[in-house]
């Protein structure tokens, strides 16, 4: 007879890993053939309060608007139409606001989304924590792919905006 363990597992996902995995899973809902991105907003109690992925605006046909990245006329590309994951997560939130929340994003936010995250009431600290987490994940990935350890740690970088957050 096998012995049943009465102890909890030691190897389980920590909250940040879990929420990032939710973002990556949600990104699979995107119809974009080039970039599948999602965002997961979490409150201080580790409850998901919003999820969104990149896609066309509500009510607009995914089949009629263009998905290409380049064209002679910019209106024939996806860029004037696609709503980013961060925007959709904020618009899909199930709470009054996202003040004090943390956003996990499957891709580093563009400058417009970074401004939106800050304007929604996330403190600079939350936005910087997100950025540092993503930078660290990227740095860890680069370290694992290369013998050259050019990136030591985001804390060693001299970016005043990150230090003030």
- Helices and strands in the chain: count of H runs, count of E runs: 5, 3
Catalytic residue among 86, 112, 147, 155: 86
72 classed as catalytic: no
Rounded CA-CA distance 79/85 in Å is: 13
Q: Please provide the DSSP assignment of 81-107 as one string.
A: TPBPHHHHHHHT-SSS--TT-EEEESS
3-state secondary structure of 41: strand
Q: Could you tell me which of 46, 43, 51, 50 has the C-alpha nearest to residue 15?
A: 46
Catalytic residues: 86
């Amino acid at each position: 007879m096998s012995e049943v363990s009465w102890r909890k597992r030691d190897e389980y996902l920590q909250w940040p890993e879990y929420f990032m995995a939710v973002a990556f899973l949600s990104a699979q809902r995107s119809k974009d053939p080039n970039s599948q991105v999602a965002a997961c907003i979490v409150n201080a109690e580790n409850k998901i309060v919003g999820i969104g992925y990149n896609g066309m605006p509500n009510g607009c046909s995914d089949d009629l608007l263009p998905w290409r990245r380049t064209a002679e006329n910019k209106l024939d590309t996806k860029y004037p139409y696609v709503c980013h994951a961060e925007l959709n997560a904020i618009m899909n939130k199930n709470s009054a606001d996202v003040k004090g929340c943390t956003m996990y994003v499957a891709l580093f936010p563009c400058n417009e989304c970074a401004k939106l995250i800050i304007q929604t009431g996330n403190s600079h600290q939350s936005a910087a924590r997100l950025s540092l987490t993503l930078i660290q994940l990227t740095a860890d990935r680069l370290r694992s792919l290369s013998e050259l350890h050019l990136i030591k740690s985001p804390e060693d970088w001299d970016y005043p905006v990150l230090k003030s957050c």
